[in-house]
Amino acid sequence: MRQFLLFITIIVVGLIFISRLFYLQVYTTGSHSLFADNAIRKVYDYPKRGFVFDRNGKLLVSNQPSYDVMIIPREVEELDTIEFCNLLKIDKDKFLDKYKKARHYSPRLPSVFVSHLSKEDYAVLQEKMRKFHGFYIQKRSLRHYEANIGANVLGDLGEVNNRTIEKDPYYRMGDLIGKQGIEASYEKTLRGVKGIKFIQKDRFNRNIGPYKNGEFDTIPEPGKDITITIDSDLQAYGELLMRNKRGGVIAIEPATGEILAMVAAPTYDPNILVGRDRSKNFTKLYNDSIAKPLFNRSLQGVYAPGSPFKLMNALISLQEGVMTPKETVTCYRGYHYGRSFMKCHCASGTRNNMISGIQHSCNAYFATVYRKILDKNGNASKGIDVWSDHAKSFGLGKFLNNDLYVGQKGRIPNREYYKYAYPKTFYSTYTVSNAIGQGEVATTPIQLANMAAAIANRGYFYTPHIIKNIEDETLPEQFTKPKYTTIDSKHFDPVVEGMHEVYKRGTAASLQVKGIDICGKTGTVENFIKLDSVKMQLTDHSIFLAFAPKENPKIAISVFVENGYWGSRYAGKIASLMIEKHLKDSITRTDLETWILKHSLENEYAKPYSGKPFGINGRSAFQVVDNEEYTELRALLEKINNPEK
């Protein structure tokens, strides 16, 4: 047997080699093996990214040609570095840094060396590329934002990072990906699919033509066009009204949940985050710790809802049967509980029922309502859970599961939340600030707009969403199926009537728009910070919630203006103007428009409250922009209202 051992070994080794060669020739000739073959160069053909249109078919986002200089480090030969740097408009240190980075990524795989060449730079460089071995030019498209609005809505593109590449093999170093807004939310829809060409190389690393006559090459699949729910004219108008202010505006169509406008202020021109200056401009925006333009206040801003939350307490009290619409509460300029006192601006001895309580925003009435809800069964611990569950059915205190890239849950507290502060006994007086939307309650502007839509619909809402149509696709059921609150529809009428009275004879009487029955609620939110353990009161926030018309509503809106004093001062005016713009496409309340354009809150940010009447001690009630800026704003307004001109 030993005499055949060498012979058998030779036969086995030979069979192994033959089997391996057969496998390589027959079973691994598909395109998947080509990516690991160093003798084949892979050239990607980037698809046209999908266009974005507004709800009226107006083009918002298109593409423009761009050119990237690519590098394959192992193929780079000696070159005139100074000439190359001059052509690329970079210095030598940056050249070396980019080369090291590319080599670290992969010596043999292509990566972006310099991105976003202009057509002029491309034309000059293309003629001399033959001198720079290891480099080549790859064509792709960049985004072009047709108007300088909606930066927080549309988002932007940026280069992928290593974490994304590891997570999704579709992307390669230097690829662009949606970073914010709909560019991020609908990245896979908009991006399309890259095409690829396999180029055969000889032993001297020279290109000798398509591999197998292009049998495995693929063509790019363009991204799909999408239509979003935003009305670009209303969006532009809202951004203009929010100039020189901080805050958020969300407008929703109650019948569909479609977002008509989503304004975050301050904002910026989305085109500054396109091209070679993107990184520099992004850094400036990111480091602006005062304005925070990258912070989407309409989705991420978490604030106490203030008096608009009284509407929620009214609805819960009706559902729980602890109040009737006609039952009255007497207000003595506030509400006494224990040793504490909650102030109210009602005249002493005023008797309010539910409608007039909403109309005059009576704190005493709603403190009574809130305590009755919690104390219904003599157990405030159980009562606050009942209260919390009702509020959450309106989408408060949780993510709305929409298609927007960012968001916050806000906070609707329950017994679990309070158990550490009050581990044993819990009384309704402990949390009575929740009655007026202060205390531990916190919401976002989009949640309040959604609450307004649910009230407008008398008990149901559609998940707020930004997508209206995707080419050759249908919308997900989550956006087309109504969600019902825990409040019966019969209980909404007195609350709606109270909101209507707010405009007719209440706290927003000065904001009426002729010919439109608006239902709304003003809010003034106390604004405190702690500085070195000292509680300091800053200028109050202005908040407003509304829908219109009263019957068959077409728009629900929430407006939040930081440091805007009181509800009707800034937020209410903006809400009335936005409603009129949407329903009439023209403005009759030009007095409100002029006031909003002329007044600025830039100097009011985080300003300590003097505790004295407005206008005293340098705390001016009227901060007017200069004539030059007002003229500029008026010109922009004319352009929005008369686009043909």
Q: Which amino acid, residue 41? A: R
* pLDDT of 244 over the 90 cut: no
Whether 607 shows a pLDDT value over 70: the answer reads no
C-alpha to C-alpha distances, 335 to 128, 390, 447, nearest whole angstrom: 81, 25, 28
Q: What is the pLDDT of residues 71-84, one digit of tens each?
A: 888 888 888 888 88
pLDDT value of position 615? 33
pLDDT of residue 26: 56
pLDDT above 70 covers what percent of the chain? 89
- Residue range 85-114: average pLDDT? 84
Q: Residues 279-319: pLDDT tens digits?
A: 888 888 888 877 888 889 999 989 999 999 999 999 999 99
C-alpha span between 377 and 359 (Å, rounded): 29
Mean pLDDT of all residues in 115-140: 82
- Mean pLDDT score across all residues of the chain: 85
| Residue whose C-alpha is closest to residue 85's, from 99, 66, 72, 100 | 99
Q: Looking at residue 611, what is its pLDDT? A: 43
Residue 68 has pLDDT above 70, yes or no: yes
pLDDT in the model for residue 487: 96
CB 71 within 8 A of CB 110: yes
* pLDDT given at position 467: 94
What's the pLDDT score for residue 248?
94
Residue 276 has pLDDT above 60, yes or no: yes
Average pLDDT of 554-559? 96
Confidence of residue 486 (pLDDT cuts 50, 70, 90): very high
The answer to whether the peptide bond before residue 110 is cis (omega within 30 degrees of 0) is no
Residue 221 has pLDDT above 60, yes or no: yes
* Per-residue pLDDT, 38: 62
Q: Is pLDDT larger for residue 207 or for residue 50?
A: 50
Question: Is a pLDDT exceeding 50 seen at residue 100?
Answer: yes
What are the tens digits of pLDDT across the range 255-270? 999 999 999 988 888 8
Residue 619 pLDDT class (50, 70, 90 cuts): very low
Cα 115 from Cα 131, distance rounded (Å): 19
In this predicted structure, what is the pLDDT of residue 626? 67
Spell out the domains of the chain, with CATH numbers in brackets. 43-228 (3.90.1310.10), 232-641 (3.40.710.10)
Assign 537 a pLDDT band (cuts: 50, 70, 90). low
The pLDDT value recorded for residue 397 is 92
> Residue 289 burial (CB < 10 Å; 0-12/13-18/19+)?
exposed
Query: What's this model's pTM, rounded to 2 decimal places?
Result: 0.84
DSSP classification of residue 337: E
Tell me the average pLDDT across 88-92.
84
pLDDT at residue 610, as a whole number: 44
Whether residue 15 is predicted with pLDDT greater than 50 in this model: the reply is: yes
Q: What percentage of the chain carries pLDDT values higher than 90?
A: 39
Q: Residue 66: which of 93, 39, 91, 48 has the closest Cα?
A: 48
* pLDDT of res. 190: 93
More confidently predicted of 368 and 627: 368
